[in-house]
Amino acid sequence: MSTLQNKYAAVISAAQAGGVSNLQVSEQDGILYISGNASSTGAKDAVWNALGTIDSTYSASDINLDVQVAGLASGASLKVSTEDSNLNIRQEPSTDAAIVGKAAKGESVTLVEQTSDDWWKVRTADGEEGYAYARYLQA
């Protein structure tokens, strides 16, 4: 077993337990790359939570989590699952992009497109469309 597999054993087992298939884990230039296919957003959350137990200082910029959630089609209803703040909805899929709207914790938004694994294009109940960080959206 490689040191990478040892270091991220909890993450790998959480991903496998969560039903992530085609799992691949690699590390390059201090960035952790995880890819695979998940059957639900819960499986993806399990991976994030396991990462947090290994190293609570991980931020999204240290990790490239490319886990596609199956079965989410355009028009799917998603719930905002932030800790306690509003979820920013941005003009472009980047934290540097202008904020075009906000969705409150627990609010439902509509999936327009899974544009990337990190950023999903959504529409709020008010009809605002933009990009939200997928980490805070649950099917």
- What is the spatial order of strands in the sheet that 21-28 belongs to? 21-28, 31-38, 63-69
Report the mean per-residue pLDDT for the chain. 82
Bridge partner list, 21: 37
Q: Please, what's the b/e burial string for 20-48 (b: 16 or more CB within 10 A of its CB; e: otherwise)?
A: beebebeeeeeebebbbebebbebbbbbb
Residue 43's pLDDT is 76
Q: How confident is the model at residue 6 (pLDDT cuts 50, 70, 90)?
A: confident
Cα dihedral 73, 79, 80, 83, rounded to 10, equals -130
Domains of the chain: 3-69 (3.30.1340), 77-138 (2.30.30.40)
Q: What is the per-residue pLDDT across 52-107, written as a single tens digit (0 to 9) for each?
A: 777 766 666 666 677 667 767 778 899 999 888 899 999 998 889 999 999 999 99
Q: Average of pLDDT values for 6-29?
A: 81
Q: Average of pLDDT values for 108-112?
A: 92
